[in-house]
Amino acid sequence: MNPTLSSRLRDGTKQAHTAAENTAFMKCFLKGIVEREPFRKLIANLYLVYSTLEAELQRYADHPIVGPMYFPELNRTANLIKDLEFYYGDNWQEQIAPLEAGAVYVNRIREVANSDPALLVSHAYTRYMGDLSGGQSLKNIVRSAFNLPPDQGTGLHDFEQVPTVEARRAFKEKYRLALDSLPADDDTMQRIVDEANAAFKMNWNVMHELEDDVRLAIGDHTFELVTKQDKPGSTERAPGNTSVELVAAE
């Protein structure tokens, strides 16, 4: 029996997933070290990524492969705008700018949309399934680090239409079933897996580009202490592993 697309994505992106979890930026984050300036830069770049991705997903809503994976209830753009208004103020559009890695990420989404739209599935998978999984733990870290007022500052990971743990678990299963029902041949599935790995790398590059900001904020010594040791990724299922799932599916 041939492996399903969801299993191929999971197994085929384990190493890239682990690398994303082991960026210095994310190691600091998981220790509760969240600095406002690099964090709001991350939110700004994710807004540029999601607004581009969601526009392209909507554009291809009738595509035989992209269409079944377009779930408007997952859209993040409106919530990210609320986050940007919170962290930058009403004139946020005049203040944000893509990082170099963020611009590469956005341009790649546009490129595949125009040349091989099926690969939009890869970008949707790496973003939304992470938001529904480890993204919920990241939300709690941010709320604690910044002592945020209720319902402000973490819109990226607030899913009003999938609000509970049980609802998110059920939706992720629905998402996997949709992946496995796509009319994709073996070659297309492999291209989707390859592009998912590329998406993980682009996400890694965005976080890596923010590391100097974190180091500047917390000092070299603390930065080195927190970031010196790698750990197994959450998809590797190491015994006793407690890492959260950041950018992929359970």
Taking only the tens place, the pLDDT of each residue in 201-235 is: 999 999 999 999 999 988 998 889 888 876 665 54
Has residue 243 been placed in a domain? no
- Residue 160 pLDDT greater than 80, yes or no: yes
Distance CA 30, CA 43 (A): 17
Q: State how many domains the chain has.
A: 1
Contacts of 11 (CB under 8 A, 6+ apart): 3
User: What CATH code is carried by the domain that includes residue 207?
Assistant: 1.20.910.10
- Residue 247 pLDDT greater than 80, yes or no: no
**Cβ–Cβ contacts within 10 Å for residue 51, how many?**
17
User: 12 vs 236, which has greater pLDDT?
Assistant: 12
Distance CA 197, CA 16 (A): 6
Distance CA 157, CA 143 (A): 11
| pLDDT tens-digit readout, 131-140 | 998 888 899 9
| pLDDT tens-digit readout, 7-38 | 999 999 999 888 888 889 999 999 999 999 99
> Length of the chain, please?
250
The pLDDT of residue 151: 86
Helices (H), the chain: 5-12, 14-21, 24-30, 36-59, 77-88, 92-95, 100-115, 120-132, 135-146, 165-180, 186-209, 211-218, 220-227
The pLDDT of residue 231: 63
What angle (nearest 5°) sits at the alpha carbon of residue 77, between those of residues 72 and 156? Answer: 100
Structure tokens at 154: 């973490």
Distance CA 42, CA 172 (A): 25
Has residue 6 been placed in a domain? no
Domain boundaries, position 83: 16-236
